[in-house]
Chains A and B, each alone.
Chain A
Amino acid sequence: ILNVEQSPQSLHVQEGDSTNFTCSFPSSNFYALHWYRWETAKSPEALFVMTLNGDEKKKGRISATLNTKEGYSYLYIKGSQPEDSATYLCAFTSGGYQKVTFGTGTKLQVIP
């Protein structure tokens, strides 16, 4: 059983604050690491997929980094806005099997 852990479980920040979350995953048999944004009553939306150690991806105010050797990824949000409020999920795909294991998510609430 693969363990994908996310921290913190939930987070409240003020509008304009920057924040970051952590996703930990097995460092062996790595294939890909995904980040999703899941707003209440909507479908999960893919943010990033990263496959190479040292990958850094950016989309607007959101960016992510990947360290496959030590098994972690960080998601950063710069200048949080109320519309960033959502649950952020990471998911790990192991090589060969194409099973996707999700973390339990970090629930972000941005307070105006």
Chain B
Amino acid sequence: EAGVTQSPTHLIKTRGQQVTLRCSPISGHTSVYWYQQALGLGLQFLLWYDEGEERNRGNFPPRFSGRQFPNYSSELNVNALELEDSALYLCASSLEGLAGNTGYNEQFFGPGTRLTVL
């Protein structure tokens, strides 16, 4: 069974540009989560999508946005890039969300996209 996939693996952008990162969840998983790990910091929760809708977001400005498609894949968009957006962006998927009807659902992580903003 294929795991969570992300593209691209690496990306270099300049300040002010826009970027789109992509994530494909494990087949059958309906929830997708996005996390940011900036240098020296822990994983920060960005966004949670389930069944095509944004269910929750972390403490990030509105220029971080995304969407989930009918096939449950997801995009993370970051507008007006700033230097501090340089980070590893991880996507994870789970069944039905973390506290789904069947109980707690484990998250499975993708390999990440390393974004460098110059």
Please give the number of chain B residues whose Cβ is less than 8 angstroms from any Cβ of chain A in the complex: 26
Return A100 CB to nearest CB of chain B, in Å: 5
Bound Cα distance from A93 to B97, whole angstroms: 12
**B residues engaging A (CB < 8 A)?**
3-4, 33, 35, 41-45, 48, 55-56, 58-59, 90, 97-99, 104, 106-112
Of the listed stretches A14-22, A67-75, A76-84, A102-110, name the one at the interface; the rest are far from the partner chain: A102-110
User: Are B43's CB and A98's CB within 8 A?
Assistant: no
Binary interface encoding of chain A residues 85-101 relative to chain B, with 1 for a CB under 8 A from any of its CBs, else 0: 00001010100011111
List A residues at the B interface (Cβ < 8 Å). Answer: 1, 4, 31-32, 34, 42-46, 49, 51, 89, 91, 93, 97-105
How many inter-chain residue pairs (CB < 8 Å) link A and B? 57
The interface residues of chain A lying within 8 Å CB-to-CB of B35 are 102
- A4 CA / B106 CA spacing, docked (Å): 19
The 7 closest A-B pairs by CB, nearest first: A104-B42, A43-B109, A102-B43, A44-B109, A98-B98, A102-B42, A46-B106
Q: Residue of A at shortest CB range from B97? A: A98
> What is the bound-complex CA distance between A104 and B38, given in angstroms?
11
Contact indicator A32/B110 (Cβ below 8 Å):
no
CB distance from A107 to the nearest CB of B (A): 12
Q: Could you tell me if B41 and A100 are in contact, using CB atoms closer than 8 angstroms?
A: no
Known: A31-B99, A43-B90, A104-B41. Contact between A99 and B108, CB under 8 A? no
A12 to chain B, nearest CB (A): 20
Q: Which of A51, A99, A103, A104 touches B45 (beta carbons < 8 Å)?
A: A99
